[in-house]
Structure 1
Amino acid sequence: MIAVDNLIFEYPGVRALDRASFTIPQGRVTALVGPNGAGKTTLLRCMAALEQPVSGRIEIGGIDVLEQPRACHRIIGYLSDFFGLYQRLTVRQCLHYVARAQGIAAADCPAAIADVARSLQIEDRLDQYPGELSRGLRQRLAIAQAIIHKPAVVLLDEPASGLDPEARHQLAELFLQLQRQGMTLVVSSHILAELEAYSSDMLVLRQGRIVEHAALNAPAQHKPFRLQLAAAIPQLADILRKLPGLELVRTDQDRLAIVNLESEGLSQHRALKALLDAGLPVCEFAPAAVNLQDAYLQTLDKQP
């Protein structure tokens, strides 16, 4: 569905994307994560045919984005981190304008508006103006504009910015609904807990380079375990790194650690024996739930 190959983009004096390459199959929800300035927004804008890279290739749904940007716009939806709404148009008029711009016939617009308004739960706001809506409802209107033409791919840059917890939960449910409809989503956000609620894959960008692209919750050769000590042990991380069969993910205040063990059955027994032989006051050692933040931090720890 999405293929990016050897993409390079430069601002004056800065290489924002440095030979970025990846593929995303249809129907996946990919979390695009990385530090500020990593190139996430630039990558999304290139994929949306809004920026022209120095070199490389982007293909979405069989369309060469750089050669056929207008054709690409027909099959994608894009939500910028700083989206704009037409303040002098009602919600209905905003949606009608975008629908016509995306090539939907005038006779089909009322049905398209009703359908997307129902999906975004704004059908009772169609005759209001954007300025009369809350931040969460304006965000829903912006997403409705991005998907009214039922695109195959949706690109979203910080879609939950400024939303309250309830609105974020509703947004996560919406993205899962779009995935069930067959859409492919790429979502950039700094809120890792929010991304974890609906993402199937993680794409990590750092200094313009793709440093990790992995499926979340997929079977792995290693399993994470949570280690809790009865008392803090100075330099716990150094001690754990020296023990056989353990791969340290992170430590917290020298009392808590997340480690990876081999999936093989006896690995937990051998690891626990090594911990006790090292004189560590173990009070808990059990499988840990893997979350997006742990996976992201582990990826960054591996980078030079």
Structure 2
Amino acid sequence: MVSATHYPFSAASDIVQIRNLSYEDPGVRALNNLSFNVARGSVTALVGPNGAGKSTLLRCMAALEQAFDGDISVDGIDVGEQARECHRRIGYLSDFYGLYDSLSVRQCLTYAALSQGLLKNAVSSAVEQTAQQLNLSLKLDTISKTLSRGQRQRLAIGQALIHTPALLILDEPASGLDPEARHELATLFSQLRAAGMTLIVSSHILAELDEYSTHLLVIRQGCIVENRALNSDSARAERIHVSVQWAQPVESRLVAQLIAPLGGVELVQTSAHEALFLVPPEPCARQALLSALVLGGLPVSAFEPKQENLHQSYLRIMQSANQKGDQQ
């Protein structure tokens, strides 16, 4: 049971604090003056288009890349000044992880434990506990190259967390996994969070992130375009999605014209048979939207408020960011 493990932390409410972080590849600024905090005990979904700087940001946080400018603190440790100490407090899984194919699961976990500085008399129990957490207890003496892809992924995660880090950083952990294996990972991450661990997960599989994430961090072209809590009272108060279905095909141009006079109402997605609106949380806003559509002669067959999921939120954020970029 993962809940039996409790992860040692310092008292600060934010486990990660980043200020004015910039990183440059030759001729390209991959990260541009980023500043944000990560709440202790949270699961942050890091999302953005390819090339946005997600992997670079994670590697800087894990003390594997040296930033051009700015400061990173992880669990009270200055990453730039105390990289080795930072490594003891962080578990990191790259999107291109590696395993020793000729070693057994037990040997892989043992090697990871010793390399992270665990005392020899604590290694055996750490290996057994980690294998249990990852449902690999029956595979401890199996050579790693014979494992399934999902089992190999869990083993790689086990190597990253065997030293009970304060922060677990995962770059595309579900890439290439089948739906069942992705569900198992989502369950594991929820259990780790319940046990007190903080996670930052970068993934393009937004439906999977939606299962366990508590916070959303969106970056585009090396800049933050959104950083907020998910499903909190304050987040719910900011926006409500309303799904509307049409009994007959409707032109999106006509829908846009009808809602134009309504303050705070935005047409997020539309097709000939349905539309998705973003409206203020007050009931009167939904009433005004429905009245405008019906009085405008549109054949409304269904009108249903819906909570914004991660996929919808990401599309809305990127659409807004792209529009602002085009205007500059």
TM-score of the pair, normalised by structure 2: 0.90
The 1:240–1:48 alpha-carbon spacing in structure 2 relative to 1, beyond 3 Å, is: farther
User: Alignment partner of 1:294: what SS?
Assistant: helix
| Residue number in structure 2 paired with 1:250 | 268
Moved more, 124-133 or 228-237: 228-237
| Residue number in structure 2 paired with 1:112 | 126
The 2-side partners of 1:99 and 1:252 are apart by 52
Residue 239 of structure 2 is aligned to residue 227 of structure 1: no
User: Alignment partner of 1:271: what SS?
Assistant: helix
Residue 142 of structure 2 is aligned to residue 128 of structure 1: yes
| Residue number in structure 2 paired with 1:43 | 57
Moved more, 172-181 or 280-289: 280-289
User: Superposition RMSD on alpha carbons, in Å?
Assistant: 1.3
Give unpaired runs (5+ residues) of structure 2. Answer: 1-14
The 1-side partners of 2:29 and 2:258 are apart by 38
Instruction: Letter of the 1:271 partner, please give it.
Output: L
| Residue number in structure 2 paired with 1:25 | 39
The 2-side partners of 1:140 and 1:7 are apart by 31
The 2-side partners of 1:249 and 1:43 are apart by 33
Instruction: Letter of the 2:284 partner, please give it.
Output: L
Mapping of 1:95-174 within 5 angstroms? Answer: 95-174=109-188
Mapping of 1:258-277 within 5 angstroms? Answer: 258-277=276-295
The 1:243–1:282 alpha-carbon spacing in structure 2 relative to 1, beyond 3 Å, is: farther
Moved more, 201-210 or 286-295: 286-295
The 1-side partners of 2:275 and 2:245 are apart by 7
Mapping of 1:75-114 within 5 angstroms? Answer: 75-114=89-128
User: Alignment partner of 1:263: what SS?
Assistant: coil
Moved more, 219-228 or 181-190: 219-228
Residue 204 of structure 2 is aligned to residue 186 of structure 1: no
Across the two proteins, how many residue pairs are aligned to each other? 304
The question of whether the paired residues in 2 share the 8 Å contact of 1:17 and 1:43 is answered with yes
Give unpaired runs (5+ residues) of structure 1. Answer: none
User: Alignment partner of 1:53: what SS?
Assistant: coil
The 1-side partners of 2:244 and 2:107 are apart by 57
The question of whether the paired residues in 1 share the 8 Å contact of 2:18 and 2:71 is answered with yes
| Residue number in structure 2 paired with 1:175 | 189
TM-score of the pair, normalised by structure 1: 0.97
Shift, 1:172, TM fit:
0.4
Shift, 1:246, TM fit:
4.9
Residue 313 of structure 2 is aligned to residue 299 of structure 1: no
The question of whether the paired residues in 2 share the 8 Å contact of 1:39 and 1:208 is answered with yes
Shift, 1:221, TM fit:
3.4
Shift, 1:233, TM fit:
1.8
Shift, 1:249, TM fit:
4.7
The 1:301–1:240 alpha-carbon spacing in structure 2 relative to 1, beyond 3 Å, is: farther
Query: Deviation string for 1:181-228 (max 9, x for gaps)?
Result: 111100000000010010011100100001100111122133211111
Moved more, 249-258 or 136-145: 249-258
The 2-side partners of 1:168 and 1:161 are apart by 9
The 1-side partners of 2:148 and 2:62 are apart by 27
The 1:255–1:239 alpha-carbon spacing in structure 2 relative to 1, beyond 3 Å, is: farther
Shift, 1:265, TM fit:
2.7
Query: Percent sequence identity over matched residues?
Result: 51
Instruction: Letter of the 1:269 partner, please give it.
Output: Q
The 2-side partners of 1:167 and 1:155 are apart by 19
The question of whether the paired residues in 2 share the 8 Å contact of 1:89 and 1:129 is answered with yes
